[in-house]
């Protein structure tokens, strides 16, 4: 069955519709002929289901791949992913991302596609804005996004990406009506009052008890409690009471990324999450949806890392963060601020 390479498509005669489309859903019928994308054509040529000619000259597989690589950006990567998905038994068709993928047991005309698949090289920088644009496209047509990352050896790792709201179940900061001064000492804040220290730590899991009479708070925890008017903060050097603005300025000098971390921390706390440092896991925070007792601490569900809205992922860095999160049974969340609102994107490895 011979096809002709015309621009970036391979065109086959009408008989191919019954043999290739009606049974296996390759290509698209158009004007009484079957039109294949370059990836579909390469797959079928490699399986010796079709032959392909250009200007009446037959092309072998090597010649076709070289030609297709000049016609389609990232052809080699897309072919690797297309071939993998087809050999897993999926029906795959082109889409506004790279491919749309049908659920097992489904096919075009029977069920809607379930996923949009975006193909990316491990060496390719991946802007957060690209991920969010694809998520928005998928959302508009009720699809999910899969990132197919192809490494230098041609192996594929699949990641699912989705927006999440990060709703928790702990809204109220429990202080038993106590309001006391706290002191900024170096890069942390100390609450001296034992009752407030106990209430904040045991009631809402703020800070670390150095002993039962003294609570140590991180900069983001301190800023949150200051903004909520739960505590007053006094500069340990000058003895002056600090406004939220002054405290934030000092915190930013201590930690240049304080603003992004604080926005993320505040957003998570306001949504009812209990937020603690994620330093041991290589991220900014770990979060708990609910804590009933400090003594019976539940498993934290998420690792959260604050990034700027214009962040560009290095894929090895992304892979490392996700692998670590999943090795400790957590989901990896990236938080960023847009229009003064914190947004959360959940990226994790998935199996197809």
Q: Bridge-partner residues for 210, per DSSP?
A: none
| Through-space distance between the first and last CA atoms of the chain, rounded to whole angstroms | 32
The reported pLDDT for the residue numbered 176 is 65
Size of the chain in residues: 352
User: 52 Cβ partners below 8 Å, 6+ apart?
Assistant: 2, 3, 4, 5, 10, 41, 45, 58, 59, 64
Helices (H), 190-257: 194-204, 219-227, 244-254
The reported pLDDT for the residue numbered 319 is 96
Residues with active-site annotation: 288, 299, 330
User: 350 Cβ partners below 8 Å, 6+ apart?
Assistant: 146, 158, 159, 160
The reported pLDDT for the residue numbered 296 is 74
The reported pLDDT for the residue numbered 177 is 66
Question: Is 3.40.1170.20 the CATH number for 1-71?
Answer: yes
Q: Other C-beta atoms within 10 Å of 241: how many?
A: 12
C-alpha span between 149 and 263 (Å, rounded): 30
φ, ψ for residue 66, nearest 5 deg? -65, -40
For 168, which DSSP code?
A: -
pLDDT tens for the chain, residues 1 to 352: 899 999 999 999 999 999 999 999 999 999 999 999 999 999 999 999 999 999 999 999 999 999 999 999 999 999 999 999 999 999 999 998 999 999 998 999 899 999 999 999 999 999 999 999 999 999 999 999 999 999 999 999 999 999 999 999 887 777 766 678 899 999 999 999 998 998 899 888 999 998 778 999 999 999 999 999 999 999 999 999 999 999 999 999 999 999 999 999 999 999 999 999 999 999 999 999 988 777 777 889 999 999 999 999 999 999 999 999 999 999 999 999 988 899 999 999 999 9
Two tokens at 38? Answer: 């370059």
The reported pLDDT for the residue numbered 179 is 73
Chain CA centroid to CA 145, Å? 10
Which contiguous run of DSSP H or E holds residue 306?
A: strand 302-306
* Residue 322 near residue 348 (C-beta atoms within 8 A): yes
The reported pLDDT for the residue numbered 178 is 65
Sign, CA torsion 221/312/122/140: positive
The reported pLDDT for the residue numbered 14 is 95
C-alpha span between 23 and 34 (Å, rounded): 13
């Amino acid at each position: 069955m011979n096809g002709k390479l015309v621009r970036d498509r391979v065109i086959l005669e009408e008989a191919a519709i019954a043999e290739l489309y009606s049974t296996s859903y390759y290509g698209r019928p158009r004007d009484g002929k079957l039109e294949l994308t370059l990836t579909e054509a390469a797959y079928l040529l490699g399986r010796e289901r079709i032959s392909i000619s250009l200007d009446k000259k037959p092309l072998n597989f090597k010649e076709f791949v070289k030609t297709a690589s000049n016609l389609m950006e990232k052809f080699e990567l897309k072919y690797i992913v297309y071939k993998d998905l087809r050999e897993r038994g999926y029906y795959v068709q082109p889409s506004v991302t790279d491919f749309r993928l049908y659920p097992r047991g489904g096919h075009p005309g029977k069920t809607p596609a379930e996923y949009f698949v975006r193909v990316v090289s491990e060496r390719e920088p991946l802007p957060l804005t690209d991920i969010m644009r694809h998520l928005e496209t998928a959302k508009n047509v009720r699809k999910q996004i899969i990132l197919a990352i192809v490494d230098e050896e041609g192996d594929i790792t699949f990641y699912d990406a989705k927006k999440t709201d990060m709703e928790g179940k702990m809204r109220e900061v429990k202080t038993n009506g106590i309001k006391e001064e706290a002191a900024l000492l170096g890069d942390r804040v100390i609450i001296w009052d034992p009752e407030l220290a106990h209430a904040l730590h045991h009631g809402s899991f703020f800070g670390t008890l150095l002993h039962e009479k003294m609570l140590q708070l991180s900069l983001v925890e301190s800023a949150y409690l200051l903004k909520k008017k739960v505590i007053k903060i006094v500069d340990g050097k000058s003895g002056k009471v600090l406004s939220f603005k002054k405290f934030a300025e000092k915190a930013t000098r201590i930690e240049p990324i304080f603003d992004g971390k604080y926005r993320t921390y505040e957003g998570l706390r306001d949504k009812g999450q209990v937020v603690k440092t994620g330093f041991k896991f290589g991220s900014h925070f770990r979060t708990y949806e609910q804590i009933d007792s400090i003594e019976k601490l539940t498993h934290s569900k998420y690792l959260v890392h604050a990034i700027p809205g214009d962040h560009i992922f290095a894929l090895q860095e992304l892979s490392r963060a996700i692998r670590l999160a999943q090795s400790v049974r957590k989901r990896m969340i990236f938080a960023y601020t847009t229009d003064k609102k914190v947004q959360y994107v959940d990226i994790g490895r998935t199996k197809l």
